[in-house]
């Protein structure tokens, strides 16, 4: 794991956007896995900025949303399909057929989840997976207790996740209790993972995920098994990490350390 500590949220987004752009330069038909929530919004703004200035072209990029509330159609303003379309896809030139999302109202849930996994495999897997982290340690909607090898499936949301989403819904009957989510096993197959976190209220769970034991009780801790994970976090989110100074030192010096010896 590479822990990258930036002074503030804006620089977390700038760093993450640069990592994605560099990956796109190496592979124009980049396959992205994308997260919703508040945290990645600034990242998407930066990527849109690259596109508008001609620094990035999304015409060959493929994207897969991480999760979706069960019961919401893609035009529901709180659906993740709608979030991604409004905050990112419609502002860049990604092809509609390349922007994949889990459906909130599939005819057959198991079949839909299987087909989603097959679509990911069909394009050669996810190159860069963007993640946020919930205060309970969830990644995507893999709530605490999720099997660490889980695949895309239906999940029951925790009470706190339901409460966190409640203010966003005008109609109480719409407040989702279930979701479809990529599994932890699915996420771990991404070639690179970038987890973004910002703010003091994420500090405790970030520390448990990075420096605590790997446990299904903190699903993000499983990233300790992934060989190419970058955790891009701000000072506030990093404030409870024991090894902060080492992460800073490693990041600041990595270019010198990685230089190959001259022949």
Catalytically active residues are 67, 136, 138, 143
Which residue in 42, 134, 137, 183 binds ligand PGA (CB under 6 A)? 134
**Interacting span for ligand PGA (CB under 6 A) from 3-11, 131-139, 167-175, 207-215:** 131-139
Query: Mapped to the 3 state alphabet, what secondary structure does 198-238 carry?
Result: CCHHHHHHHHHHHHCCCECCEHHHHHHHCCCEEEEEEHHHH
Interaction between residue 38 and ligand PGA (CB under 6 A): yes
Closer Cβ to ligand PGA, 84 or 98, answer by number: 84
Which residue in 39, 65, 79, 150 binds ligand PGA (CB under 6 A)? 39
Interaction between residue 221 and ligand PGA (CB under 6 A): no
Interaction between residue 132 and ligand PGA (CB under 6 A): yes
For residue 180, list its beta bridge partners. Answer: 68, 154
For residue 65, list its beta bridge partners. Answer: 34
Interaction between residue 37 and ligand PGA (CB under 6 A): yes
Interaction between residue 212 and ligand PGA (CB under 6 A): no
Closer Cβ to ligand PGA, 4 or 205, answer by number: 205
Closer Cβ to ligand PGA, 39 or 150, answer by number: 39
Report which of 189, 183, 131, 114 is spatially closest to residue 155, judged by C-alpha positions. 183
- 41-52 and 9-26 are packed helices; what angle lies between their axes, rounded to 10 degrees? 50
**Interacting span for ligand PGA (CB under 6 A) from 12-20, 44-52, 128-136, 221-229:** 128-136
Tokens of 219: 């699903």
Minimum gap (Å) between residue 35 Cβ and ligand PGA: 7
Q: What is the DSSP letter of 37?
A: S
Backbone angles phi, psi at 139, to 5 degrees: -120, 135
Q: What is the maximum alpha-carbon separation in the chain? A: 68
Other residues' Cβ atoms within 10 Å of the Cβ of residue 119: 12
Closer Cβ to ligand PGA, 47 or 133, answer by number: 133
Judged by the rule CB under 6 A, the positions of this chain that interact with ligand PGA are 37-39, 132-134, 138
């Amino acid at each position: 794991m590479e822990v990258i500590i930036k002074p503030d949220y804006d620089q977390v987004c700038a760093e993450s956007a640069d990592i994605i752009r560099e990956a796109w330069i190496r592979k124009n038909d980049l396959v992205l896995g994308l997260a919703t929530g508040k945290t990645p919004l600034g990242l998407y703004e930066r990527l849109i900025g690259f596109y508008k200035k001609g620094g990035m072209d999304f015409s060959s990029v493929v994207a897969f949303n991480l999760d979706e509330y069960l019961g919401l159609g893609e035009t529901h303003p709180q659906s993740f399909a709608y979030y991604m379309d409004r905050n990112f896809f419609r502002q860049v030139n990604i092809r509609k057929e390349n922007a994949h999302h889990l459906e909130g109202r599939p005819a057959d849930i198991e079949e839909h989840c299987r087909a989603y996994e097959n679509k990911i495999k069909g394009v050669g897997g996810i190159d860069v997976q963007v993640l946020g982290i919930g205060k309970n340690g969830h990644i995507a909607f893999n709530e605490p207790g999720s099997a660490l090898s889980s695949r895309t499936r239906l999940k029951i949301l925790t009470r706190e996740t339901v409460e966190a989403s409640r203010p966003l819904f005008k109609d109480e009957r719409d407040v989702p209790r279930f979701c479809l989510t990529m599994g932890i096993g699915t996420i771990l197959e991404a070639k690179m993972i970038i987890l973004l976190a910002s703010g003091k209220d994420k500090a405790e769970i970030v520390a448990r995920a990075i420096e605590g034991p790997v446990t299904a009780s903190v699903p993000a801790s499983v990233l300790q098994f992934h060989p190419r994970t970058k955790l891009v976090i701000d000072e506030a989110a990093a404030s409870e990490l024991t090894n902060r100074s080492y992460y800073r030192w490693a990041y600041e010096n990595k270019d010198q350390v990685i230089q190959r010896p001259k022949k």
